[in-house]
Amino acid sequence: MTFWTLRKIVLCSGGFGLATYNLVWSDHQLLTTEKLSAEAKRPAHLKMISKKGLPSRADHIKALKETPEYDVLVVGGGATGSGVALDAVTRGLKTALVEMDDFSSGTSSRSTKLIHGGVRYLQKAILKLDYDQYRMVKEALHERANLLEIAPHLSYPFPIMLPVYHWWQIPYFWVGIKAYDFVAGSKNVKSSYYLSKKKALEHFPMLKKEKLCGAIVYYDGQHNDARMNLALILTAVRYGANCANHVGVTELIKDENGQLCGAKLKDNLTGEEWPVKAKVIINATGPFTDSIRRMDNPDQRLICQPSAGVHITLPGYYSPDSMGLLDPATSDGRVIFFLPWQKFTIAGTTDTPCEVSTNPSPSEADIQFILQEIKKYLNSDVNVRRGDVMSAWSGIRPLVLDPSKGNTESIARNHIIDISESGLITIAGGKWTTYRSMAAETIDAAVKKFPDRLKPLSESQTDGLLLEGGDEWTPTMFIRLVQDYGIEPEVANHLANTYGDRAFAVAKLAELTGRRWPVVGNRLHPEFPYIAAEVRFAIREYACNAVDVIARRLRLSFLNVEAAEEVLPKIIEIMSQELKWSKKEAQAQYDKAIEFLHTEMGKNANKQVKMVSPLSLSATEINKYTSQFHSMDKEKKGYITINDLRRSFKALGQKVSDEELHVLLSEVDVNKNGQVELGEYLWLISALKSGDVATSVFAAAVELEHQRETGYKQISVERSGGGVYKTNYEKVAYG
Ligand SMILES: Cc1cc2nc3c(=O)[nH]c(=O)nc-3n(C[C@H](O)[C@H](O)[C@H](O)COP(=O)(O)OP(=O)(O)OC[C@H]3O[C@@H](n4cnc5c(N)ncnc54)[C@H](O)[C@@H]3O)c2cc1C
Ligand SMILES: *[C@@H]1O[C@H](CO)[C@@H](O)[C@H](O)[C@H]1NC(C)=O
Ligand SMILES: CC(=O)N[C@H]1CO[C@H](CO)[C@@H](O)[C@@H]1O
């Protein structure tokens, strides 16, 4: 490092600070007027129409058929559409929302679950002195604070560590992060701070020591995205909106002047179709926006450039309980992160251009790619294994290209609001965090465009408006569930942090366990705090099929796809009782849910690691190795350990180093209990003998054996593009 580089860094960091100060100052006057106490000024029309029970889905469908005309019809029940419906209904507009699949079944349940202002955008804003970018970050930071406030049961402040690998980056990162705090102003979550290398490793012990110089910790928020989405819907319903899932828009209806006046709806549960009238129609269909706009006018230019982002779920020990890690500065510009979520770790992500699909599927290549990337960050105690991937999913980013060139403001703002000639209002892009401001802006735009059609009773009311469950929630509310109902603390905690003050309604549905403790609340799966009563409650929250329950009411399929498969029969049994499903219907539900787990939650991708090689051992060999296994397992424990294995390899005349042995054990131990059971042992021997093995680490270790025996080298996973495992051998000189 020369003096000049140092000088550059100091100047750069200093300049960064000054520029921020200027931006914030010029913004100051604008914002002070915005600060009115929202709660005190709620208009009289803002009243919940149903405080206790929620109307059923059938009630909503009936209303959708009988209401002569809605003010606003929202198409799409993701974060954006739900936010729009809530904004519209709380302004006193007659509002309906239809979602062709389940609420939050699209991108909104597949996000990274961060509530963030966008540190990276701020960097751009400051370096380029770009005021629009700056306003966007400022707005996102306001929304971040709002989301933490209106749904305290579903969202919380979340510390994120930025590892620093070059000491000269420290001042640069530090100033950048302090600018982020500073811009957030009174809306800041908590102050960021610097950690020395030693402290960083205390906070994040799984991190690789080498090259680390230190770390910076800053705060954003985290939430349960699908539940947040549902809370928006339920709140809109409480204020009088009619919202129906599994109802799609199949056609737009225009009047004699070519203006939109309604839409044809189709109930996907019954196949029934009917028209609904609406003064204004809002398309909030996320990455589907283009297909909708083209329905309106087939010659529309594309405004979406979809790209897929894959996440994987790993066991909780990949990250500390309550701190995430994010590297925004990978050499090729991708963002790598490990974030604890619901006691597991979410890691990601990829960014690949894709086609829009209703069921995006994570590929094995995507999963391998993420594993390879995260390996670089973890120390050798955290052995990154393919078998640890519990679930994987893909979300489609609707990156918005602006249809009307020259309108750079909307690009900078990351979302667009487009009004077509026939009056279709499209809202697309943005992020989860800013759903509310986007929604308010959309309704503002609608009111401005159609002053004769829309007569709202007030301005937007959603800033600071509490969502379903948030009202009486407190951080210690779960204790009452333990003490009053006799629910296990872990379950009570989960209920409180999922349903907020509605957790008591769930507790009332919970059946007696028949044991002394817990008194009520039978778990659906021993490893998860989900209880059977939640399935019954899910139906009251408009879950219509098994997938709605495992993916969005409970988040089980995102956490552990195998566990989700295990509890399916139980869930379907309960749903069958509640919804009077026939045997045939129950079977169809099961098949559909399995299909979902396989295609959308990474179950199929996962399959390759499980017992890939059919046992290529003869019956005599099986007998031989079985008795060998039993002789190794002297204490008749039913499993063998690494020491037993070492002895066994010796006896077989195979030289395997301790390092290799450790690797082998970790890969072959498919159920990850640190022990090798008979089946696993036979598989290991078989794989070692045949060289016919599947993945990563294990493959590499066994490949050595294979090469020794044959002199051939197997083409690596990376070189085959991530797909090919057992073809394509090339001759190598093995020395
Ligand atoms: C990988 C990834 C990670 C992300 N991480 C974050 C993050 O950490 N933080 C953040 O703030 N943002 C994040 N985002 C962005 C955020 O997830 C999206 O901006 C947001 O979810 C978009 O919501 P939406 O409602 O516009 O779209 P969607 O959630 O896709 O909703 C659109 C809905 O419209 C429905 N629909 C389509 N056609 C019809 C029809 N004809 N009739 C009825 N309904 C229809 C679909 O079924 C779908 O449910 C992430 C995005 C991706 C892709
Ligand atoms: C519901 O939607 C699916 C997928 O689009 C379709 O295959 C099915 O036929 C629909 N069901 C009804 C009753 O319309
Ligand atoms: C009003 C409107 O444009 N509705 C469209 C929404 O999207 C669906 C499906 O993509 C179309 O069929 C509708 O015409």
Which of 339, 373, 400 is the endpoint of a domain? Answer: 400
Q: How far is the CA of 268 from the centre of ligand 2 (A)?
A: 5
Between 64 and 11, the more confident residue is 64
Between 360 and 15, the more confident residue is 360
Q: How far is the CA of 119 from the centre of ligand 1 (A)?
A: 21
> Which domain CATH number covers 85?
3.50.50.60
Burial environment of residue 304 by CB neighbours within 10 A (0 to 12, 13 to 18, 19 or more) = buried
Do 343 and 298 fall into the same domain? no
Do 490 and 357 fall into the same domain? no
Q: What is the pLDDT of residue 701?
A: 45
- The arithmetic mean of pLDDT across residues 61-71, rounded, is 98
Q: Are 318 and 405 in contact (CB under 8 A)?
A: no
> Which domain CATH number covers 372?
3.30.9.10
Residue among 426, 381, 19 nearest 208 (CA): 381
Q: What is the pLDDT of residue 639?
A: 80
* pLDDT classification of 62: cutoffs 50, 70, 90: very high
Do 358 and 420 fall into the same domain? no
- The arithmetic mean of pLDDT across residues 505-511, rounded, is 97
Range of the domain at 23: 3-40
Between 712 and 558, the more confident residue is 558
Do 505 and 654 fall into the same domain? no
Asked if residue 410 has its Cβ within 6 Å of ligand 2, the reply is no
636 domain-assigned: yes
User: Which ligand 3 atom lies nearest to the CA of residue 426?
Assistant: 3
Between 142 and 25, the more confident residue is 142
196 domain-assigned: no
Can you tell me the distance from the alpha carbon of 17 to that of 725, in angstroms, rounded to the nearest whole number?
51
Closest residue CA from atom 8 of ligand 2: 268
Can you tell me the distance from the alpha carbon of 401 to that of 266, in angstroms, rounded to the nearest whole number?
30
Q: What is the pLDDT of residue 9?
A: 58
Q: Which ligand is nearest to the CA of 294?
A: 3
Q: Please check the confidence at residue 302 and state whether its pLDDT lies above 80.
A: no
Q: In this structure, what DSSP letter does residue 68 have?
A: S
How many Cα atoms within 13 Å fall on the side-chain side of residue 161? 31
Do 430 and 501 fall into the same domain? no
219 domain-assigned: no
List ligand 1's pocket residues with C-beta within 6 A.
75-81, 98-101, 105-108, 111-114, 116, 248-249, 284-288, 309, 349, 395-397, 430-433
Between 355 and 534, the more confident residue is 534
200 domain-assigned: no
Task: Count up the domains in the chain and report the number.
Answer: 5
Can you tell me the distance from the alpha carbon of 562 to that of 537, in angstroms, rounded to the nearest whole number?
23
366 domain-assigned: yes
Q: Are 133 and 126 in contact (CB under 8 A)?
A: no
Highest-pLDDT range among 151-155, 282-286, 604-608, 720-724: 151-155
* pLDDT classification of 616: cutoffs 50, 70, 90: low
Report the range of poorest mean pLDDT among 83-92, 234-243, 413-422, 505-514: 413-422
Do 576 and 443 fall into the same domain? no
Tell me: the pLDDT tens digits for 660-679?
A: 777 666 666 655 666 777 77
Can you tell me the distance from the alpha carbon of 3 to that of 673, in angstroms, rounded to the nearest whole number?
54
* pLDDT classification of 595: cutoffs 50, 70, 90: very high
Report the range of poorest mean pLDDT among 38-42, 272-276, 533-537, 593-597: 38-42
Mean pLDDT, rounded, of the chain = 83
Do 104 and 235 fall into the same domain? yes
Q: How far is the CA of 615 from the centre of ligand 1 (A)?
A: 44
- The arithmetic mean of pLDDT across residues 483-506, rounded, is 97
Tell me: the pLDDT tens digits for 230-272?
A: 999 999 999 999 999 999 999 999 999 999 999 999 999 999 9
User: Which ligand 3 atom lies nearest to the CA of residue 296?
Assistant: 3
Asked if residue 292 has its Cβ within 6 Å of ligand 3, the reply is yes
Q: Are 642 and 673 in contact (CB under 8 A)?
A: no
Distance of CA 165 to the CA centre of its chain: 28
246 domain-assigned: yes
CA distances from 36 to 245, 414, 459 (A): 36, 27, 13
> Which domain CATH number covers 726?
1.10.238.10
Between 628 and 380, the more confident residue is 380
Can you tell me the distance from the alpha carbon of 363 to that of 371, in angstroms, rounded to the nearest whole number?
13
Encoded amino acid at 94, one letter: K
Do 662 and 685 fall into the same domain? yes
Q: Which ligand is nearest to the CA of 310?
A: 1
Q: Please check the confidence at residue 580 and state whether its pLDDT lies above 60.
A: yes
The best mutation among 268, 291, 599 to test binding of ligand 2, ranked by most ligand atoms within 8 Å of the C-beta, falls on: 268
Q: Of all residues in the chain, what percent carry a pLDDT higher than 70?
A: 77
Which of 606, 637, 655 is the endpoint of a domain? Answer: 606
Can you tell me the distance from the alpha carbon of 216 to that of 222, in angstroms, rounded to the nearest whole number?
18
- The arithmetic mean of pLDDT across residues 482-507, rounded, is 97
CB atoms near residue 440 (< 10 Å): 21
Between 77 and 693, the more confident residue is 77
Do 592 and 640 fall into the same domain? no
Do 297 and 313 fall into the same domain? no
Tell me: the pLDDT tens digits for 644-655?
A: 777 777 776 667
* pLDDT classification of 612: cutoffs 50, 70, 90: very low
Do 444 and 490 fall into the same domain? no
Do 658 and 511 fall into the same domain? no
Tell me: the pLDDT tens digits for 179-198?
A: 999 999 988 989 999 999 99
* pLDDT classification of 575: cutoffs 50, 70, 90: very high
Report the range of poorest mean pLDDT among 67-81, 343-357, 420-434, 568-582: 343-357
Q: Please check the confidence at residue 441 and state whether its pLDDT lies above 90.
A: yes
For residue 418, the surrounding DSSP H or E stretch is: strand 415-419
497 domain-assigned: yes
- The arithmetic mean of pLDDT across residues 116-136, rounded, is 81
Q: Which ligand is nearest to the CA of 545?
A: 2
Q: What is the pLDDT of residue 249?
A: 97
284 domain-assigned: yes
Cis ω before 362 (30° cut-off from 0): no
Q: How far is the CA of 420 from the centre of ligand 2 (A)?
A: 29
Q: Please check the confidence at residue 1 and state whether its pLDDT lies above 70.
A: no
Q: What is the pLDDT of residue 625?
A: 76
